[in-house]
C-alpha cells in the first residue's frame, strides 16, 4: 500500500462536514453527462471504502438511485478495482448538483468552489479532505517531499490555491497532461496539510521518518567533515615531512634552531599527528598556532633550498 493510500484510508473514516467533503470529492472525481437531454453524474473512485462511503451518503442524505459498476484497473498490476457510481437523470439530481456547487440555478456547469464551503474553518478542512480523497497524492516519507492535488479545471485549481492560503500555505500551480496541479514541496507545508485533513497517523509517521533522516544526514555531515579534516591533516603532514627530509638531506637538521629541530623530529616520528597533538608532546606544551608558526618557518627554509637548487 502506498503512503497516499494510507492517508486516504485514514481520512475516509473520519466524520465531519459531509456536504463540503462530498462536494470536493465529486468535483475531483466526478463528471457531468447528458442522457436524453437531462443531466447525469458519474463518479469514478479507486478505493472500495471510499466508494461505499460515498454511495451510502448520497443514498441516505439525498435519496438518489445509484448504479455501481466495478472494473479492473487496466493501469494497475495486481488485484485493483475501479468503482463507478452512476446517477442517471431523476428527480432531485439537479438540486443535489446545485447544493454541491457543480451547477448554477440555470443548470450550467460551475468550476469554482461554492462560497458556502469556505466560510467556516470546519468547512474548509472538510473541503480539503474531500479534495485530497478525490485527487490528492503525497510522496512516501522516504523520498523527496511532494504533495499535490490534480484538478480538471484551472478555475478550481486557483480556488484551491486560495483555500490553502487561508491556512498560511503558499501552494504552486502547474500544468501536466491537461491537468492543473496544485502542489507543495516543503516538509512543514505537507505536515500542515496532513494535520488540516485529519491524517494524524500519517503525520506522525512522516515526522518519525523526518527525524531519522535528519539524524542520518547529521551523522553523514559529521563523518564527511571529520574525513575531510583527516585528509587535510595527512596532506599537510606529508608536505611537512617532505620539507624536513629536504632540509635534512641538504643542510642537516643541526642547521635548524633548537625549537625547529625539536618540532622537525616530532613530525618525523609522528607522521599522522595533527598540530595540536604535536604541541602537546612538547615541553613546555605549545599551542596549535605556535606549532603552525614553526612549521611555516621550516617550509620557508625548504623553499629557499628548492629555489637555490634550481639555479645550480
Query: Which three-class secondary structure string do you get for 165-180?
Result: HCCCCCCEEEEECCEE
Cβ burial, residue 70 (10 Å; 0-12/13-18/19+): exposed
* C-alpha span between 293 and 121 (Å, rounded): 67
Using the Cα atoms of residue 69, residue 83, residue 67 and residue 90 in order, give the sign of their dihedral. negative
Sheet of 172-176: strand order equals 136-138, 147-151, 179-184, 172-176
At 262, list the grid cell: 625539536
Query: What confidence tier does 312 reach under pLDDT thresholds 50, 70, 90?
Result: very low
Contact 118, 17 (CB under 8 A): no
Q: Grid coordinates 485533513 are at which residue?
A: 197
Any idea where the domains of the chain sit in the sequence? 3-198, 213-310
Helix (H) or strand (E) holding 184: strand 179-184
* pTM value > 0.75: no
- Residue 42's SS3 state is strand
23/18 Cα distance (integer angstroms): 8
Residue 51: strand, helix, or coil = helix
Q: What is the pLDDT of residues 174-222, one digit of tens each?
A: 998 889 999 999 999 999 999 999 999 999 998 888 788 778 777 888 8
In terms of Cα–Cα distance, which of 295, 280, 282, 287 is closest to 239?
295
What is the helix (H) or strand (E) element at residue 191, kind and residue range?
helix 187-197
Dump pLDDT digits (tens) for 126-151: 999 999 999 999 998 888 899 999 99
d(CA 104, CA 19): 17
3-198 has CATH 3.10.129.10 classification: no
For residue 67, what are the CA distances in angstroms to 29, 84, 132?
A: 16, 8, 24
Q: What percent of the chain has pLDDT over 90?
A: 46
Q: Residues 254-304: pLDDT tens digits?
A: 888 988 989 988 888 888 888 888 889 988 899 999 989 999 999 999 888
**Max Cα distance, the chain (Å):** 110
* 278/273 Cα distance (integer angstroms): 6
Amino acid at each position: 500500500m502506498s503512503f497516499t493510500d494510507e492517508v486516504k484510508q485514514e481520512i475516509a473514516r473520519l466524520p465531519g462536514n459531509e456536504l463540503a467533503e462530498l462536494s470536493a470529492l465529486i468535483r475531483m472525481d466526478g463528471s457531468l453527462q447528458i442522457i436524453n437531454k437531462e443531466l447525469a453524474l458519474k463518479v469514478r473512485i479507486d478505493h472500495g471504502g471510499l466508494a461505499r462511503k460515498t454511495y451510502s451518503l448520497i443514498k441516505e442524505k439525498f435519496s438518489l438511485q445509484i448504479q455501481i459498476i466495478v472494473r479492473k484497473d487496466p493501469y494497475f498490476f495486481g488485484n485493483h478495482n475501479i468503482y463507478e457510481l452512476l446517477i442517471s437523470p431523476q428527480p432531485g439530481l439537479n438540486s443535489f448538483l446545485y447544493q454541491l456547487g457543480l451547477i448554477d440555478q440555470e443548470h450550467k456547469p460551475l468550476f469554482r468552489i461554492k462560497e458556502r464551503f469556505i466560510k467556516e474553518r470546519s468547512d474548509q478542512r472538510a473541503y480539503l479532505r474531500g479534495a485530497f480523497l478525490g485527487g490528492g497524492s503525497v510522496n512516501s516519507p522516504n523520498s523527496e517531499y511532494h504533495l499535490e492535488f490534480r484538478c480538471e479545471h484551472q478555475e478550481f485549481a486557483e480556488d484551491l490555491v486560495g483555500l490553502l492560503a487561508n491556512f498560511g500555505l503558499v501552494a504552486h500551480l502547474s500544468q501536466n497532461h491537461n491537468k492543473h496541479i496544485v502542489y507543495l514541496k516543503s516538509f512543514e507545508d505537507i505536515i500542515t496539510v496532513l494535520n488540516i485533513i485529519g491524517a494524524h497517523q500519517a503525520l506522525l509517521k512522516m515526522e518519525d521518518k523526518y527525524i531519522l533522516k535528519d539524524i542520518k544526514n547529521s551523522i553523514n555531515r559529521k563523518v564527511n567533515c571529520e574525513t575531510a579534516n583527516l585528509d587535510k591533516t595527512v596532506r599537510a603532514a606529508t608536505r611537512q615531512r617532505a620539507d624536513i627530509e629536504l632540509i635534512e638531506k641538504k643542510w642537516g637538521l643541526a642547521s635548524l634552531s633548537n625549537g625547529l629541530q625539536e618540532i622537525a623530529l616530532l613530525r618525523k616520528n609522528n607522521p599522522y599527528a595533527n598540530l595540536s597533538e604535536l604541541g602537546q608532546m612538547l615541553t613546555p606544551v605549545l599551542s596549535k598556532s605556535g606549532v603552525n608558526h614553526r612549521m611555516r618557518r621550516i617550509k620557508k627554509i625548504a623553499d629557499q633550498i628548492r629555489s637555490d637548487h634550481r639555479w645550480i
